[in-house]
Structure 1
Amino acid sequence: MTPNSARISLQDLPLETLNQITSYLTSHQPSLYAFSLASKACHCITSTFIFHRINITVSNPAALKRDIDGIVDALSRTESARHVKCLSFKGSLCLNGEYAESRKEGKYSRDAIDSVTRWFKTTGISEVLTEEEPIPSGAYVIYDESVIQKASEEDMAWAPVVSLIKLLPRLANLFYDCQNQFPPSLLDALHKHQPHCKLYHRTFRLRTLFWDTPYPYEMALATSPCLYSVKLACTERDTDGDDDFNQAAMMDLVSGLAPNLREVTIVNFRAYLPSRLFRRPEPWRGLPGFIPGSSVGSLTSLSLIGSVRNSLPEDLQSWSKSTDLRCLHHLTLGGGFGAESVGVSGDVMEWISRTCSFPQLRTLIVRLDRDDFDVQKPDYSRQAVEFFGAIRPLHELSVSGPLDPDILEAILSGHGQTLKNLDLRPYESPFQADNRWFRRDIPMIFTKQQILQLQAHCPALEELAITVKRTKSDALEADMYRTFSQFNLLRSLFLTLDCSNWRVIRDPTYQPVFDEEDDRPCEVLGEWLKEGHVRETFINCAVDERLARSIWEIICQDKVGRKLQSLKIWTTGGGQFGDTTSGCGMMDIIANLSRSWLIELVPRHDENIISVRELGLKAREARDHKGREDDERRDAYLLAHGIEPTHRDYNPMRSFRRVWPLNQDSKDWRADWASLPLQS
């Protein structure tokens, strides 16, 4: 047999093989699209994956119609309508450049919820913490938006979507994450043409709970047999002093009014409330048709995030009357960006472990909280150990908050053998209480031995998110990265590079040795902070692409078992020294240095090619642009008044230049730095 005769082309491969290749390429869209052009058979196979989910961003009626027309045309040309299983909508529909009627009257609710989402995106962190929910704050009024009317201009703007839904014979899921209320025409279309389609409503909220009877359309939406999953942002009492009954109404729906509702996410937050409006909450009178105790729901997923510290035991007791907690597969307690210091206390963990049962639980996401602002809680660690020991072995576990070796041991011994996904994110509250005991707690720092212990206890681990302490790229830090190569099945790794130094304030035995220049107090930031602390912070925060690639290479060089598919790096903690204000004077520099990265393996069989992308790049470039403009205006003002600009000589910049000296080509300090290379 000659070499040429042994060769086969894509045309010769059986459909089963093409299907396997396509499923492998789904994680890398460019390769999937390229493969679809290789042959008619490849195009036929890949269409199932390419058109499986269609994402649509909503902005105005004209753009929505244009997008839907393009989708319909593509589906018609490729005969792919049968492949569409999921439609996803996000954004906000504006009519004539203004908010739609159902949102025009709203002010505070839109400001509180929408603004925090926009802010979260402008920081760039939303690209790093893709699953994190930003927690609203500030003024918030519950019932300040009108209900969308059937056949109104806003409702009719969704007519192209209604037409699209009629064309999709196998539509199974519809995700709705728009700020507008879900349109009546779309609900009617689901009921008539897609009665088995599951509706995932990510902006659910009832606006007429103050009425004697809620608006009929709101009840129709809330009790729809299509409603499968909801996310609801709510507060106990709004800025006007009105009680928010949305969570209580959701419990009524779960109890039986919404027959197919299986997943609920409650985003709890505290609205600004004047002290004159403090009072006992009004009693909830219930939704029409609800009979207390008549039935119990069967949620498979319950997430209570945000400000849960004080209300969690009562909330869980109430939820246990509305749904059978034994049916839960997924449970989230606490969490959300902006609520790091609020979570599940030791007392609550003890109550849960002794009163609740979760026999079918597979995924647990929990934010822990010492809750020791007023008084020390010496039993916290014991209570956490008991909590994790009381839960059956999990497949996925995410724990943030105060951790220690005993808690880590309880997690690994109780769940290590079954875990496929593990996220450990140590955190301590930076707040100190005046005239009370001084907090000495420091976020747990994982050692190499603990990482090896984790590897030994978790043989099935495929995804890991964990914190690594930056130590100026020295050999110990490099050895920490190398340890991750020992995880046999690991395919996704998320490293939080911790650049903080809480020992400066919280450890009285901490006495670093600095030279004469580094030992000088950094007056701008506080007499107790030395310039050496600032210089070391800058070195640790400086994470450029070269360093990111080095971390990838040192992990993959001797990787056992499965190849690592992705590495996400989040650089954070710079300027945190154990309180809430210590690093404020150098945050502009830290924000530029602290870059985050996503490295992914491009699927090829013959060589290891990676793609490297800076996460939050646009947000950083916008900050840098504004910073340059501010520097130029300040320099021009000072020169106009005969004053030589000195902002480049202030303490933090002096520490910066000790690491990265000024050279004759320097125009902007932002372009003058580079990470210290990893030491072998």
Structure 2
Amino acid sequence: MDKLPEEIKHVIATLNPKKPDGIVSNIEESCSYLLRLPHTQRVFAHVKRLSLMTVWRFIKPPLKYYLDTRDALEQGDVGKGFIDRCPSYEEDLASILNLITQLPNLSEVNIIDEEGGTAELAETISRHHPTCRVSLFISSLSTSKAWDSSPLLHAVCHYPLENTENGETQSTERLLQSIVHRAPHVRRVSVQSCSCGPLPMEESQDVPQVVAQIESLCWPLDREVTVEGFQCLKELTDLECLRSWTAGCIKDTMLLQTLASMQPFKELTHLTLALIHWYENEYAFWSSAEEMLESLPPLKSLCLLGGYTPALLTRGKVLRKHGPTLLELELHRASPSTQKIDLYELALGKGIGPVFSVNDILDLSRQLPLLKKLQICVQRRRGLEGAVYTALGQFTCLEELELVLKCLPEMNIFDHPVPSRELTDFEMARIWHSSVLGYGWPRWYLRDLLINCAIDEALAKAIFSYVWKGRNGHWLQRLTIYPLYGQLGEYSRYFYHDYCRKIKEEGFLDQLAPTWVVEPDLLTGLRAQKCVKPRHDLSDLSDDEDSTLTPVQQVGGEFVMEEEEDVQTVFQSLWPTADINAWPRHWHSWPLRSLGMDV
């Protein structure tokens, strides 16, 4: 996209149907305009990938959806990036079909449409591009028949229409069976959670046994893999061909032991797995998990989520087996709203992932000599955590770091801070509120929370500098900071109290703790960009308003400080101001401190 001529990018960006009957005319006019541009045929000769996406009519403008979808597709594997479900397109496709015939070197087509496109579309692609790989992003298997048994169908991403809130979910094994029966040539399959049902389950059919050769398989992280489900998976596809597996969650010790003993994978290089321990022998579960991970072929990419302790990786067999080959390691996951369905159970359990200490990070760095990308969670401690960032600079090849900062203060069972410190009378006072179960919560907790969440440009750059000044930190090319302050209730003792939820959801903590992206710049040294999510629905945007979640100017919050006496009191103790209504302009981060280094 970035390499296309400006005229073509302009046409794509301005394709914005204002009403249902304008969709066809917009497409026809845009396609005709493309064909009239100078040097069009020369440009089209270089087009190898085409994505066709249907946009909901109430979304305006559709540019955000296009950009999000493009970024997800760029991740290179179906299911790795979240792609929102789209409606079906029921209008005339003549202009699109004509465009397809003008692309002589087309080798990949992504169709993001509820029903997977029409038979006419499938026939046109098959006739003009017989070696093309087609990827479907669909939500209805019963109506997506245009590509049945087509050798061009390479990937299927399915959004089952179900009601996850009521527990009405479709069997992933049965979905896979239906996909394999309809598309025996498929190589990549993904199922993404989508709470928009319920629809009746498809009737089971007696179909001939087909053993697929799936290379990439992606289940939602909230779907449990059982022994029976894995046996069904083994019958549907040749597991020796599987290279990338997002397995969902495993809660059963027996399944872990089965995987360790069978060793069914020969080509597996990418694994995403959530481990959730419930009501059984804890030692047996985690020992079996370690044995299972050790039994796998050497991995290049590992995403390991769940309530395990860092010692599972730092002091066990897992990294002794996979550490020398790992290029990517994801040990936590930021929780964008598009994926929170998958993460709820993890977040409300023992956490999406563990919090790593300085020693844990140093242990990891010694065992991961080739690691290029890391996502990890560390604890904010009012600016006293500088040594953690320095430790992250010990990885010898790390180029991209996604840092989840746990801003929620550590607290012991006596409501005292961890590590222990002497509290002032002001900090020891309690905040009483009707929703806090009648006993209030300590003022020091709110004060520390605000300090930890106060992440401005200066602090974002300082964190990068701490990593950069580590022994090998000069390799770092991109730092993304994701503040964690109770999203999805993770680690949050007070999440369900209306008072805490209010300061979290009404723009207050959003502005104190945005997502930051920091990169080195040859001219300025460091460049930090803030990503702020607009706090209104996309459907409420004006026609000329950009709804992308790219770095934007700070937006005004809905949080009214003068109406929240407790928050105002704590805020004034940190950043005194005569005009409390202008609080967004009067806060700043606390400086980092670390032994032997001052940034």
Q: Same fold (TM over 0.5)?
A: yes
Residues 73, 504 of structure 1: CA spacing in aligned structure 2 closer, same or farther, 3 A cutoff? Answer: farther
Say yes or no: does 1:661 pair with 2:570.
no
SS in 1 for 2:271: strand
Q: Following TM superposition, by how much is the alpha carbon of 1:371 offset from its aligned partner in structure 2, in angstroms?
A: 2.8
Residue of structure 1 in register with 2:237 after alignment: 323
Residue-by-residue CA offset, 1:208-248 (whole Å, 9 max, x unaligned): 5xxxxxxxxx3332322221111112267899999958863
Distance 2:294 2:59 in 1: 54
Computing the radius of gyration from Cα coordinates, the structure with the larger value is 1
Residue of structure 2 in register with 1:531 after alignment: 443
Q: Following TM superposition, by how much is the alpha carbon of 1:58 offset from its aligned partner in structure 2, in angstroms?
A: 7.4
Distance 1:222 1:404 in 2: 46
SS in 2 for 1:487: coil
Residue 318 of structure 2: which of 408, 411, 417 is its match? 411
Residue of structure 2 in register with 1:555 after alignment: 467
Residue of structure 2 in register with 1:460 after alignment: 370
Say yes or no: does 1:354 pair with 2:268.
no
Residue of structure 2 in register with 1:381 after alignment: 286
Summarize the alignment of residues 128-277 of structure 1 with structure 2, pairs less than 5 Å apart.
133=82, 154-156=90-92, 158-179=93-114, 181-208=116-143, 218-234=144-160, 248=174, 250-254=176-180, 257-268=182-193
Say yes or no: does 1:313 pair with 2:227.
yes
Residue of structure 2 in register with 1:40 after alignment: none
SS in 2 for 1:394: coil
Q: Following TM superposition, by how much is the alpha carbon of 1:82 offset from its aligned partner in structure 2, in angstroms?
A: 1.9
SS in 2 for 1:326: helix
Residues 442, 207 of structure 1: CA spacing in aligned structure 2 closer, same or farther, 3 A cutoff? Answer: closer
Distance 2:346 2:413 in 1: 13
Q: Contact 2:48–2:108 at 8 Å: present in 1 too? A: yes
Distance 1:254 1:179 in 2: 19
Residues 76, 366 of structure 1: CA spacing in aligned structure 2 closer, same or farther, 3 A cutoff? Answer: same
Distance 2:414 2:148 in 1: 50
Query: TM-score normalized by structure 1?
Result: 0.69
**What is the alpha-carbon root mean square deviation over aligned residues?**
4.3
Residue range with higher mean Cα deviation, 70-79 or 513-522: 70-79
Residues 132, 243 of structure 1: CA spacing in aligned structure 2 closer, same or farther, 3 A cutoff? Answer: closer
Residue 558 of structure 2: which of 627, 630, 638 is its match? 627
Residues 248, 397 of structure 1: CA spacing in aligned structure 2 closer, same or farther, 3 A cutoff? Answer: same
SS in 2 for 1:590: helix
Say yes or no: does 1:516 pair with 2:425.
yes
Q: Following TM superposition, by how much is the alpha carbon of 1:377 offset from its aligned partner in structure 2, in angstroms?
A: 3.9
Q: Following TM superposition, by how much is the alpha carbon of 1:560 offset from its aligned partner in structure 2, in angstroms?
A: 3.0
Residues 456, 57 of structure 1: CA spacing in aligned structure 2 closer, same or farther, 3 A cutoff? Answer: farther
Say yes or no: does 1:425 pair with 2:332.
yes
Q: Contact 2:155–2:187 at 8 Å: present in 1 too? A: yes
Residue 503 of structure 1: which of 384, 406, 411 is its match? 411
Say yes or no: does 1:297 pair with 2:212.
yes
Summarize the alignment of residues 358-373 of structure 1 with structure 2, pairs less than 5 Å apart.
358-372=265-279
Say yes or no: does 1:471 pair with 2:381.
yes
Distance 2:156 2:14 in 1: 19
Q: Following TM superposition, by how much is the alpha carbon of 1:517 offset from its aligned partner in structure 2, in angstroms?
A: 1.0
Residue 450 of structure 1: which of 338, 360, 380 is its match? 360
Structure 1, unmatched stretches of 5+, are: 1-25, 38-49, 100-113, 137-144, 149-153, 209-217, 335-341, 433-438, 632-644
Residue range with higher mean Cα deviation, 348-357 or 454-463: 348-357
Residue 391 of structure 1: which of 296, 313, 324 is its match? 296
Distance 2:161 2:142 in 1: 14
SS in 2 for 1:265: strand
Q: Following TM superposition, by how much is the alpha carbon of 1:202 offset from its aligned partner in structure 2, in angstroms?
A: 2.0
Residues 74, 447 of structure 1: CA spacing in aligned structure 2 closer, same or farther, 3 A cutoff? Answer: farther
Counterpart of 2:368, as a letter, is C
Residue-by-residue CA offset, 1:95-152 (whole Å, 9 max, x unaligned): xx899xxxxxxxxxxxxxx9xx99xx9xxx9xxxx9564999xxxxxxxx9x87xxxx
Residue-by-residue CA offset, 1:388-428 (whole Å, 9 max, x unaligned): 11212100111111121331133322210000111112899
Residue of structure 2 in register with 1:676 after alignment: 590
Q: Following TM superposition, by how much is the alpha carbon of 1:503 offset from its aligned partner in structure 2, in angstroms?
A: 3.4
Residue-by-residue CA offset, 1:330-388 (whole Å, 9 max, x unaligned): 00022xxxxxxx6555443333323451110000011221234xx67443322221221
Residue of structure 2 in register with 1:109 after alignment: none
Counterpart of 1:444, as a letter, is P
Residue of structure 2 in register with 1:401 after alignment: 306
Q: Following TM superposition, by how much is the alpha carbon of 1:301 offset from its aligned partner in structure 2, in angstroms?
A: 0.5
Q: Contact 1:204–1:232 at 8 Å: present in 2 too? A: yes
What is the percent sequence identity of the aligned residues? 21
Residue-by-residue CA offset, 1:278-307 (whole Å, 9 max, x unaligned): xxx886114xxx413xx4110000111143
Residues 388, 235 of structure 1: CA spacing in aligned structure 2 closer, same or farther, 3 A cutoff? Answer: farther
Residues 584, 472 of structure 1: CA spacing in aligned structure 2 closer, same or farther, 3 A cutoff? Answer: same
Residue of structure 2 in register with 1:635 after alignment: none
Residue of structure 2 in register with 1:41 after alignment: none
Distance 2:255 2:330 in 1: 21
Q: Following TM superposition, by how much is the alpha carbon of 1:625 offset from its aligned partner in structure 2, in angstroms?
A: 4.0
Distance 2:91 2:380 in 1: 53
Counterpart of 1:483, as a letter, is A
Residues 551, 562 of structure 1: CA spacing in aligned structure 2 closer, same or farther, 3 A cutoff? Answer: closer
Structure 2, unmatched stretches of 5+, are: 18-22, 73-78, 334-342, 536-548
Say yes or no: does 1:581 pair with 2:496.
yes
SS in 2 for 1:353: helix
Q: How many residues align?
A: 537
Distance 1:155 1:237 in 2: 29
SS in 1 for 2:393: helix
SS in 2 for 1:652: helix
Q: Following TM superposition, by how much is the alpha carbon of 1:160 offset from its aligned partner in structure 2, in angstroms?
A: 1.9
Query: TM-score normalized by structure 2?
Result: 0.77
